[in-house]
Every structure is written in structure tokens, then in C-alpha cells.
Amino acid sequence: MTYVKPSFRHPDLPKNDLGFTKKDYEGAISTLCGGCGHDSISGSITQACFEMSIAPHRLAKLSGIGCSSKTPTYFLGNSHGFNSVHGRMPSVATGANLANRDLIYMGVSGDGDTASIGMGQFVHAVRRNLNVVYIVMNNGCYGLTKGQDSATADVGSISKNGMNQFQAIDLPALALELGASFVARSFSGDKTQLIPLIKAAISHHGFALIDVISPCVTFNNNTGSTKAYDYVREHITTADVVDYVPPGEEITMDYPEGTSADLTLHDGSMLQLTKLAPNWDPRDKLAAMQRIYMSRAKQEILTGLLYIDPNTQDLHDLIGTVATPLNELLEEDLCPGNAVLEEINRGLR
Amino acid sequence: MRSVAAVNDFVVRFANVNGTGSASANNMFAKAVFRMGLPFSAKNIFPSNIQGLPTWYEVRISEKGYLGRRDGIDLMVCINPQSLPQDVKSVSSGGYFVYDSTKILHPEFVREDITYIGIPMMEICLREYTDPRQRQLFKNMIYVGALSMLLDMDFEVFKGIIADEFKKKEKLIAPNIHAMELGRNYVAEHYEYPLPIRMETRDLVGDSILMDGNSACGLGAVYGGATVAAWYPITPSTSLVQAFEKYANRLRIDKETGKKKFAVVQAEDELAAIGVAIGANWNGARSFTATSGPGVSLMNEFLGLAYFAEIPVVLTDVQRSGPSTGMPTRTQQSDILLAAYASHGDTKHILLFPANPKECFEIQALSFDLADRLQTPILVMIDLDLGMNEHLSPPLKWDDSRKYDWGKVYDAEELEQMAQYGRYLDSDGDGITYRTIPGTHPTKGSFFTRGTSRDEYARYTEDGSVYVRNMNRLLKKWDTAKEIIPQPEFYQQGNQHKEGIIFFGTTTDSALEALDLLREDGIELDAMRLLSFPFSKQVEDFVQAHERIYVIEQNRDAQMRSLLINELEVNPDKLIRVLNFDGMPITAAYIQGEIKEKMVAEV
Ligand SMILES: Cc1ncc(C[n+]2csc(CCOP(=O)(O)OP(=O)(O)O)c2C)c(N)n1
Ligand code: SF4
Ligand SMILES: [Mg+2]
């Protein structure tokens, strides 16, 4: 069942540029297990959208099936949402995006939803550079069907159901290989890192993957699991610290020379990066690949903005659709009328 | 030997090798028949292969205007040594066999009861042309030339067709005419012409057009307002989305920017194709996909979602012979049950059955109105025969005063006035509820679309009574649909006889011809053509009003008959199966024979 939240609004709640409070970006009360990483991610999405002053109706939420895919009910209650079928969110998001290029699309998926049943669709959405924020709530297991290993479970990782023997799929590495234009990894417990990443992903024009390690407290948070809170906290290593500066705002932060890089995104916003690793440039795909492989060898979980190409063409640019959203075209734009048909008839005789 | 003699009533079959350019020569032949004012039907019989295997093209010329296929080949044009043994056998007794006599025909293939007309096509080509590609292509024109002479066809008509064909490559006009002349001259010098089967110019096709059903559907989708098409290649549906793209590139380009007012996505598979179409429709664009049986199998889960979550979507199924990969380049009407009940749980879908290119165009266009109005999948059911073969059809028409029916959608103003929006509230009592499109209103009208059970306000629920209420409302919508979808066509005033026939889609031409044949045998039957599912009151009344009904269809399991029995709770004894499922379009003679046999058997 869905719990209805009291609509009481405190008069002093801070408002964003559109006059909305954070509550306007919340959804129904979560029915996930207490402590589930997914809920923290929902919180970060809410916070990011509130801070960015996104008009709720300008964003659409899409998901597949799983505990993770349920979360769109728990954030942005004033936005349209679509909980589709298992593993097929990318195609639904593709259709939605083609219909209206002006909305923001927030795709939410799980590691089962993306790396197993939905692998085909994920791969092809990346290839097409669909303009979507694609968040994988990655817990290394199938939460909703009670904890079976997923394809992102590390070799040797132990869940409540036993030890995984099969190779793990590294979604950011795969996305890089496929040509994704924005690839990030984060941890559900690290809001300071995750919120700016979500903002940057929203501002990015093209496919933006954020693989968020998100422990399943019920089935995969035990000793021996590489997706447990304790394990992740101990093994996390951060490639860079990202700060998101909205369009038109001045950069105020001061970083030591040589450790920061500013990136302008499609919508005029800025990303300010503090590079924690030497010779680190998230625009360098080769370096990103190398860092991912190196940290994997060291059993580190590398987080941060791993790769970005801020100047890519999305699906619409590639196929050359008009600027007007296709769903706003009028009958006179769409229907050529009978005179043209007569001409066509003539050609068929 | 008695040779077949006929004016404007015979069947010509061409036996070619796949991928040798014969198709355009054969089409030119058919077009000449058409421009001589003669009704005809043409069928491609081709393998699932790109190059090198036998393919046939069959043209039936019928002064009476019968457009179904007819068995029995009166004249065979055999250009393919590989299929020659079989081609010789398939000619009707008294028929004619045109072949390449560059090599002598083996005595084994000489029949006493047919006339052989050898034309040394390869020899002529070797003499005339040096380039191997030219030899190949002009060989085709040589046999067309020979045929035009043998069958007394108007050469001027051919010249006109060649001129049209090569409008943009004028240099090719004269050589093509010359190649035809080579064939014509050879016949003139060596044979008596015309043959006892021949053509005479008539004025019987009026303003008809020649079009394949896939092109008509593709154009219908442009006219119906589709902006997003997603597909995965599969014969025989491939050319449908390609036609949409071709026409859209011509008719839907923004003049100022050169940008497209449409999008076509070649998806990674059919699951994605229908997912894209559903996502686009959910977001307020008109969108469709097209596929064949294997694709529909893959789309099942999504079709259930669209049914239950009530999302408009259009899917055209160009049926081919199943099961599995079956005979992928042969026709059938064998996805009826799959389509009607696609997906798990209690699902059923609206099916539309166009029977000719004009109807393909109109019904494909209409399907978008119906999908938006009924907020459910609409499946346009055609088949390989209709989709891929060119058919003689009434011209396409569009009523410019007609307006798209976008269905029940609340706009921002209506939402503003509203206390509380309920996505699944049946406020009009017709089972159809109001949707909203993402992006409409900042704080009102958003809802959560899902395939799980929900209440009238789109809130998740597992309350059984709420679920039942919703499922029953979907039934109410189903009943509403019955009367707004295309209604059956009848071929008599009122019901006149105790027995009748039911048919649909590409069975139509042969069924109507069979009615004439049976009438000559003294058998009179009422006839009804189905245009849609679910079955309306009119369908039910026709079934009620007749003692026995022959249900004619092109599948093994009498799928439409099952659907009628299941949905109308008809006594199965009343519905007699007339089935053809060998992958070739059904013929009138077959239907006539089956009905007569089954009548006798039952008396
Ligand atoms: C076609 C289909 N097969 C199986 C299922 C059952 N199922 C539901 S959720 C799920 C796995 C979800 O795993 P994941 O995407 O990782 O989400 P999590 O619950 O872990 O967040 C499965 C197998 C389904 N809903 N549909
Ligand atoms: S089962 Fe695991 S993933 Fe699902 S809600 Fe509970 S903790 Fe979260
Ligand atoms: Mg999971």
C-alpha cells in the first residue's frame, strides 16, 4: 500500500528559485527495508532536483522492475513516472525522449534490471547516446526476488545465498567501452559526492550513467559481501571531487593550482573538479579505463566522475529531428492532406 | 494437342534466379497489363535468401476482375535452369513453355501436351553485350520483349513504362527498348504470334492504383500522424517501416531547417521496438512498430503492460507462415489467436483486418485515432501476400475535413480547475479514462504508470476488490470498442440464405470469386467480411442468423473460427472450417471445392 504523507507545510521551509520547497520534490513514503541503500539514493535525487530548481513537470521518471525500480514512487511525487517491465526501461525511455526532447529523463534501474535481463537494452541506449540520466542502484543481488546473485556481484563475494563464482560485469567500464559520454560511480552512503554527480548528469547532454553502490541490508550486507556498507566504506577510493555550479553562477571555490579543472556543460552550468589522483583528467577515456582497471586490481572501488565528454550529440542530434518536441507537432504539421495523396496516386498507375 | 486459348484470362509464371534483376523486368510486365486496362493480380514467390535460389513471379490476368490467385499455369517463362524440371511439370496441359534455348532442352523435359517456345536469350546477349552485368539485365528485357509479342501486348505501353522508369537516367531508355526489340524480333522471325492466349486492351481498371500493402500502411502511418517508428528487421514487415521513412522523408521535413518531423529507430530487437513505441505514446506522440509473428511473440510482455497500464500503441503484424521460423517468405493468417490474446493474464487486444492497399492506408491511419481513443494496443493484421505483393486497389483518399481524435487527454487548464485528478476514474461510464501527458502542469495531473494493480488514482494496491473493479472497467472499455472499430462488410441486402461464409483480409478476393463459382453450381451463400476484433453486434447477428457458416482462413487451426466460438459462445458445429495453409494465397477453386465437399459430407 502507499502511505499518504501529511500535506502540512512549515511556512519557514526554504524555497528554491521556483518557489518550491524540498517537500514538493518528495514522493510517497518508501516501503523498502529500513536502511536500504536505494532510499538514500532517492533522497539524493530529491535534494539534487530541489537545489537545481527543476520544475517537477519537466522531468519524467522511468524504471524497470525491482526494489530499485520501485523508488521512483518515493521521489518527485509531482513528476510523471513509469514503472515499466523488467529490464526494458531503456527502450521506454528512448520512446519517451523521442516524443519530447525538452523534458529531463531520470531512468532508475537495478543491477539485475540492467546487467542481466536488460543488458541488451542498456547497451543500445548507451550506443545511441540517449539523453537520459541512468542511475543503477547496484547492490550485487536481486533484492526483490530475495537475494540471488546478480551479474555485478564480484567473484568470491558472499551473499546470504552463498558465494558467487562468476565474473562480475563492471557497468562503468562497459559503458565507457560502448561510448557513453558521462560515466560516474558513487556510493549511496556518500551524499556529498552523489548529489553533485546527479546534478551534473542532469545537465549533461547525452547518456549519463551513475553506477551507485547501494547495499541491500536484507540479503547482501553480510561479512564477505563486497557490496556491504562496511566493505564499501573500507575500499572506496575517490578519483575526484565534483562541485556543481548552476548556470550563470560564479565559481567561488578556491582550489590549489593544478588540482582542479572546470568543465562547462551543455546548459551552461559548470563542473568544478578536484582531481585527487595525479595526471587525472576525466575527459581522457584511456586514462579512465586504466584507472578503473588499476583500482579493480587493487580491490578498490573507484568513485567519482570517471569520464565525461561534454560536447556530444544525442540521439535527436544524430537523427536530425526538429527542435519542437514531436509530441507538440500539430495535425497540419503531420498530415499532408488529400492533394498530396492524389499526386501519390498518380505515381502508382 | 489442344492448346489453351483465352483472351485476357490466363496465368503467366516467371521462374527466375533470386538477385538477378528479374524483379524489375517482371514488374514492368505487370505494369503493362495494368496500363492496358486489364485487372490482374501478381504474386512473388521467393525464398528466404539473398542470391542464387529460385524465385517465381506469377501474374493472373482476369478480364472479369478476379484478383485472387488462380492455380494452373498457362504460360511459364523459365529463366532458371535450376528449377526447370519442376517448372516444366507445373505447366497446365495445353499450356506454353518459354525458355532460354541457348542450350538444347534435355529430352527428359519435353512434354507432349505443351507448346515449347525457345528463345536463345543468352546467345543474343553474348552477341549484343560485352559487360556481364548488362548481359544479365538485358536478358530480362529480352524475355519481356518476346512475351509482349507472343501475348499481343501493346509495345507503346512498354515504351511509356520504360520512359517513366528511367526518367532520371535517360541514357538507359533506348537500350532497354532495344533489348525488348531483340526479343520481339526473334519471336517475329521464328514463331507464329500472337499465341492463342493473348491480351486485348480494355478499360477495366478505372482510376485504380498499383500498390503493396506495406507501402500503403507506411503512408497511412504518415497520414495518421505517427511521429516515432521503432522496428527490427523481419520479412515480410521490413518494407513497411522503410515505406514510412521514405514517405516521411518526402512529406515531413521542416522546410526552413531541413530537420525531420519524425523519428525512426532501428531497435536492437522487437522487445525494444515496442518498448520505444509504448514510451513515445505514453509521452503523447503517436508511435508504432511493425513486425511479423516471431516479433509479436517477443512483444508479448509489453503488450500486456500497454493493455493493463492503458497506453495507446499501434503494432502492425505482417503475418507469415509459422510456427517458429516456419516458412518465412510464405503467407498465412496464423497469428490471429496470438495477437488477440497476446501476453499473460486476462488480456485481449483490438485487431483490424484490412484487405487491400486502400484499406491498409485507411486502417493504419485510423489505428492511431483508435489507440488514442481506447488507450490500448491496436494490432493491424495483414500478411505477406497483402504486404509485399503489389495489388490493384482503389485510389487512396483522405478527407481533409477529418480531424485526429487524440482521445481523452486533460490539458493544463482542465487540470487547474480540478480538485483531484484520477487517472483511472471512469467519469464518463464508457470504461475509458482521462490521461495526462508528462510536462502538462507543474503540480497537477502527474501520475505513476505501472503494470501492477492500482486504484482509480493510480496508487499501487493489492486490494482484490479494487483490482476486480479495474479489470471489469477494462471489459466495459472492450464493449465500448466493439462499436467504434470498423464494422463488417456484407455482400447482400439483409440475410437471404440459411448458410453463409465468413472471411477476412487477403482471403477476400478468392472468397468473393468462390461465391460466383458456387452460384454457377447452384449454391447461394450469404457473406460477411470481418474487419475487426472484438466482434460487434453485427457480427453476432450474422452468426445467429445462419444455420451453417463456412469460416474461410489461411491457417491450420481455424483460429478465427476458434475466436468466434470463444467470444460469441457459438455452437462449434455451426462453424465449418475452410482452411488453406500451404503458404500460397488461397484460391477460389479451393474454397469452392472445400465448401461443396463439406456440404455433401454434412447432408
Ligand atoms: C520477466 C520477469 N522475470 C522475472 C521477474 C522477477 N523479478 C522481479 S525483480 C527481479 C530482480 C531485480 O533485481 P535488481 O534489478 O537488481 O533490483 P533490486 O531488487 O536488487 O533493487 C526479478 C528477477 C520479473 N518481474 N519479470
Ligand atoms: S530487499 Fe534489499 S534491495 Fe530490496 S528493499 Fe530490502 S534492502 Fe533494499
Ligand atoms: Mg539489485
The answer on pLDDT for A251 being more than 60 is no
Question: What is the total count of domains within chain B?
Answer: 4
- Calculate mean pLDDT across residues A195-205: 97
The answer to whether the CB of A111 is under 6 A from ligand 1 is yes
B147 and B133 inside one domain: yes
Domain locations in chain A? 22-328
The three grid cell numbers given for residue B175, joined into one nine-digit string: 537500350
Is it the case that residue B290 has pLDDT exceeding 70? yes
Same-domain check for residues B274 and B217:
yes
**Tens-place pLDDT, residues B559-579:** 999 999 999 999 999 999 999
Q: Work out the pLDDT band at A254, boundaries 50, 70, 90.
A: low
Mean local confidence (pLDDT), B506-525: 98
pLDDT band at residue A223 using 50, 70 and 90 as cut-offs: very high
For B55-77, what is the mean pLDDT?
Answer: 97
Q: Shortest CB distance from A120 goes to which of B268, B281, B443?
A: B268
Is the CB of residue B102 less than 8 Å from the CB of residue B123? yes
pLDDT of residue A28: 95
Give ipTM to 2 decimals.
0.95
User: What does the alpha-carbon distance between residue A138 and residue A175 come to, in Å, rounded to a whole number?
Assistant: 15
Cβ B223–A24 below 8 Å, yes or no? no
Structural domain that includes position B471: 412-484
Residues B36 and B95 in one domain: yes
A301 close to A295: Cβ distance less than 8 angstroms: yes
Q: How many CB atoms lie within 10 A of CB B400?
A: 11
Whether B402 maps to a domain, the answer reads no
pLDDT at A235 over 90: yes
Instruction: Evaluate if residue A2 carries a pLDDT over 50.
Output: no
Query: Is B206 inside a domain boundary?
Result: no
Q: Mark whether B533 and B501 lie in a shared domain.
A: yes
B438/A100 touch (CB, cutoff 8 Å), yes or no: yes
Shortest CA gap A138–chain B (Å): 22
Counting from 1 in the atom list of ligand 1, the atom nearest the Cα of A110 is 15
Helix axes B155-165, B132-150, angle to 10 degrees: 150
Q: Which residue in the set B263, B436, B451 is minimally distant from A321, CB to CB? A: B263
Mean pLDDT for all residues in chain B: 96
- Check if B493 contacts A (Cβ < 8 Å): no
Q: Which of B490 and A247 is assigned the larger pLDDT?
A: B490
Residue B361: predicted pLDDT:
98
User: What is the structure's pLDDT at A252?
Assistant: 56
* Torsion-angle region of B94 (φ positive above 0: left; ψ -120 to 50: alpha; else: beta): left
CATH code of the domain in which B278 resides: 3.40.50.970
Q: How many CB atoms lie within 10 A of CB B571?
A: 8
Topology of the domain covering A22-328: Rossmann fold (3.40.50)
Question: B592 vs chain A: nearest CA distance in angstroms?
Answer: 33
The set of cell numbers assigned to A105 is 529523463
CB atoms within 10 A of CB A11: 5
Q: Is the pLDDT of residue A3 over 60?
A: no
**How many other CB atoms are found less than 10 A from the CB of residue B566?**
13
Count Cα atoms within 13 angstroms, Cβ side, for A81: 24
Express each pLDDT in A97-135 by its tens digit: 999 999 999 999 999 999 999 999 999 999 999 999 999
What sign for the dihedral angle of Cα A84, A87, A91, A94?
Answer: positive
Give me the CATH number covering residue B14. Answer: 3.40.920.10
Looking at the structure, tell me whether residues B219 and B188 fall in a common domain: no
pLDDT confidence tier of residue A1, bands split at 50, 70 and 90 = very low
Alpha helical stretches, state H, B227-292: 238-251, 270-282
Distance CA A119, CA B116 (A): 60
| pLDDT in the model for residue B602 | 57
Residue B406 lies in a domain: no
Return the SS3 of A318: helix
Question: Is it the case that residue B400 has pLDDT exceeding 80?
Answer: yes
**A177 has a pLDDT exceeding 50:** yes
B298 in any annotated domain = yes
Q: Kindly report the nearest CA distance between residue B397 and chain A, in angstroms.
A: 6
- Same domain for B180 and B61, yes or no, is yes
Supply the pLDDT for residue B223.
98
Q: What pLDDT, on a 0 to 100 scale, did the predictor assign at position A26?
A: 97
* H helical segments located in chain A: 37-51, 67-70, 89-99, 111-115, 119-127, 171-178, 191-203, 229-235, 285-297, 315-319, 331-334, 338-347
In what helix (H) or strand (E) does residue B30 lie, and over which residues does it extend?
A: helix B22-35
Tell me what pLDDT residue A10 has: 66
Of the ligands numbered here, which is closest to the C-alpha atom of A145? Answer: 1
* pTM score of the predicted model: 0.96
Q: B80-113: per-residue pLDDT in tens? A: 999 999 999 999 999 999 999 999 999 999 999 9
Mean pLDDT (whole number) for B513-520: 98
The DSSP-derived string for B382-396 is EEHHHHHSEEEEPPP
- Say yes or no to pLDDT of A4 above 60: no
Q: What is the pLDDT of residue A161?
A: 84
How far is CA B201 from each of CA A281, B62, B63, rounded to the nearest angstrom? 77, 12, 10
Q: Which among B393, B426, B447 is the end of a domain?
A: B393
Are B98 and B56 contained in the same domain?
yes
Residues B19 and B142 in one domain: yes
Instruction: For residue A123, report the distance from its CA to the centre of ligand 2, in Å.
Output: 25
Quick check: B140 pLDDT over 80?
A: yes
pLDDT one-digit tens code per residue, B347-366: 999 999 999 999 999 999 99
The mean pLDDT value for A287-315 works out to: 93
Compute the average pLDDT of residues B390-396: 97
**B258 lies in the same domain as B183:** no
Assess whether B155 and B285 both reside in one domain. no
Task: Give the confidence band of B49 by pLDDT, cuts at 50, 70, 90.
Answer: confident
Whether residue A131 lies within 8 A of chain B, CB to CB, comes out as no
B331 vs B313: CA distance, rounded Å:
25
Q: What is the largest CA-CA distance in chain B?
A: 89
Picking from B364, B345, B133, B123, the residue whose alpha carbon sits closest to that of residue B243 is B364
What residues form DSSP beta bridges with A237?
A302
Q: Are residues B424 and B505 in the same domain?
A: no
Distance of alpha carbon B157 from the chain centroid: 28
Percent over 70 (pLDDT), chain B: 100
pLDDT of residue A168: 96
**B170 plus B218 within the same structural domain:** no
Query: Cβ–Cβ of B275/A100 closer than 8 Å?
Result: no
For residue B434, what is its C-alpha cell? 482521462
Q: Which three cell numbers stand for residue B84?
A: 526447370
Cβ atoms of residues B227 and B262 within 8 Å: yes
Contacts of B223 in chain A (CB under 8 A): 335-336, 341
